[in-house]
Structure 1
Amino acid sequence: MIIVIKAGTPVVEIERITLEISRYGIAPEVSLGQQKAVIGLIGDTAEIDTKQIQNISPFIEQVVRIKKPFKRASLEYRNGEHSEVVVPTPNGAVTFGQNHPVVVVAGPCSVENEQMIVETAQVVKATGAQFLRGGAYKPRTSPYAFQGHGESALELLAKAREATGLGIITEVMDAAELELVASVADVIQIGARNMQNFSLLKKVGATGKPVLLKRGLAATIEDWLMSAEYILAAGNPNVILCERGIRTFDKQYTRNTLDISAIPVLRTLTHLPIMIDPSHATGKSEFVQPMAMAAIASGTDSLMIEVHPDPAKALSDGPQSLTLPAFEELMLELGALGKFFGRWAKPNNTYTSAALATQVTARV
């Protein structure tokens, strides 16, 4: 159940309403939007009479029961207003949200050595990315595959941030490593294989750090949003949803199936920001560009692109990683499209050479 408060209501009146609501034995949660305040009542509200709530104050605009199982994640919980996730970085705060420029996250699948991660960070920053991604701990299908360098890789991510000012997004796989990962990460990533690790979701939510929640390999949209609900219920409102492809029947031509339709569907269901990861979705570098452009055209708030100085020698996910020059060219193309949709922060031709800008402009 949510209580929508009229625009311009004095703060003291909102406090009085929440005090009255607390007498029903439910802790109210106040969410301040750009226009109106919303008070959420989470728990067993079946016996609460909406008319009695409405009569508490003339400043109450309406009382609405939320029928969806994902309460805090639902669009109704914010009275139809989409939320923003603001992440402080050394270069300044970056905002993920529908009414902001597309946030680009780029970097290698895994952190291999200092030279590689710092070089990659410098190039993706110069090209327009705001965050560096890189795995310190890697969930792999085979126990014999490269699992990441762990704590030493986190130290290298910290060095890359110091050198560039980029925000850091990296994955946590185990609650035992959460404190260490949180000490470096500006955004903590929950990978597809841990999307329904509910114990881990609760603990990550309790850190208060922004969380990037990737969709599970075979998760429905409702499964995904219910996982987000665990993080939100732990008191953390800063959740970004990442579509990274789902497992379907075709494994010959793409790694997974990118569900672009998830973007408009999520817009009708949840207030949370949306990211698309075309690299993991397609599994092949040649398909990243068209899927990234399709994501921008469909309204994504963010993109995650895998980039490596030498994909052929990458310790993990080389086939889906772009080279540094390929990423620069992609950013020019995305910039042209992003500006068309009003979702790009800067003129794209400031990132690379004039010759490359001319080539891309001719194609666009």
Structure 2
Amino acid sequence: MLHSKLGRVMNLVYYHSVFFALMGTTLRIRSYKKTIRLDKLSRTYLLYSLFTSAFMFLNIYYMVPQVLLDSYIKYNIVLQLNFVVMVFLRIMSVLCCYLTIWLKRRKIIKLYRNSLIYWKRFRNIMDAIVNKQELKDLQISLARTMMQEIMVLYAAFLFSALVQYQLLNVVNKRSLLAFSIRLIHFLHLLAVKMAFYGLLILLNHQFVVIHLALNTLHKKKVGKKWKAVRSIATMHLETLQLARSIFRIYNVIHTTVFINMFMATMNILYHAVQFSNKTIKSDGWGIICGNGLIFFNIWGTLMFMEMLDKVVTSCNNTGQMLRQFNDLPSENKTLQRELDIFTMQLKRNHLVIKICGLVELDKSFCLSFIASILSNVIILMQFDLRRQQQPNHPQYLTHLIRNQSDV
């Protein structure tokens, strides 16, 4: 049932999560045998998780000293504040991520077990109702989308590493250590993003499968359709509950992901402004790497928002798929009753994703997200222009003091 391409891509996401200790326990995924099962939680993995979380938190200290002495941010208060905010966000991200894993470990393991039970329960429904070729095409498409997101994330990581290396004022042991720690934290955030995107891929897969099942059921001229409709309604309700559980348990982590995406994009665009007005010196390779970083960072953000919107839309638009059953004869009262129950279930249950219960993640949020980034960059540009009009160079201050003394 699980295509080998999608299985290999999800294995890649899984190994990233295991490496950075983002899992509650280890899993065993074998797509060619169509099995997914939980492995026993071992003490070795718990010790590894403790070591990884402590390492990611304590090494933040080594990011700070060398970067604050770099010449390109030494006389720019905005860049210094941006750096302080980014370090603070890294601390919050690491704390929120690993505290969630440790404090909610039982809930996370229970979520894994419920997902496994869910997968086994509705596998027969998909095999019996959904067209095999349509299911194969869907999984191949999702595998390509997931692989594309992974490539975009790693491309952004590569260009970010090149740009940060070029910005090093002095290459020595301390600067290289700070540079390496920054790359490790970048990879950690990349793994968190990848895991979040993988969850969205799986949820979108299940909701689209429900749509395919309804389309196939409408075309088939067989009896006892009401049993299939009842099974699909149960599948939709449990998928919705599973999605709510995922977003509720990982709510804090997802919040830090969006805040980091916001600040990182704003910081990248403001650095681009500094490169364009020659405040930060760069050569041709620096400009190419900077443009690549901007391109892949924005591309990855847009793909993230698009998949998030697809999950919400595919869940809440299932009612539109039921309208095609209106052209069926109304003689089968049992089928009509099951359709009415399914319709009422859809009206009462909508998937709403919120950040900390405050901000709803929908299309308007995506537009506001991009608009807020651009607005903040423009505001920072105004401060930068004002700073250039009122220079703070030591020679300028000395000349100004002499003029005042002569007067």
Work out which of the two has the higher radius of gyration on C-alpha atoms and give 1 or 2: 2
Higher helix share goes to which structure? 2
Tell me the TM-score normalized by structure 2. 0.23
Higher strand share goes to which structure? 1
Tell me the TM-score normalized by structure 1. 0.25
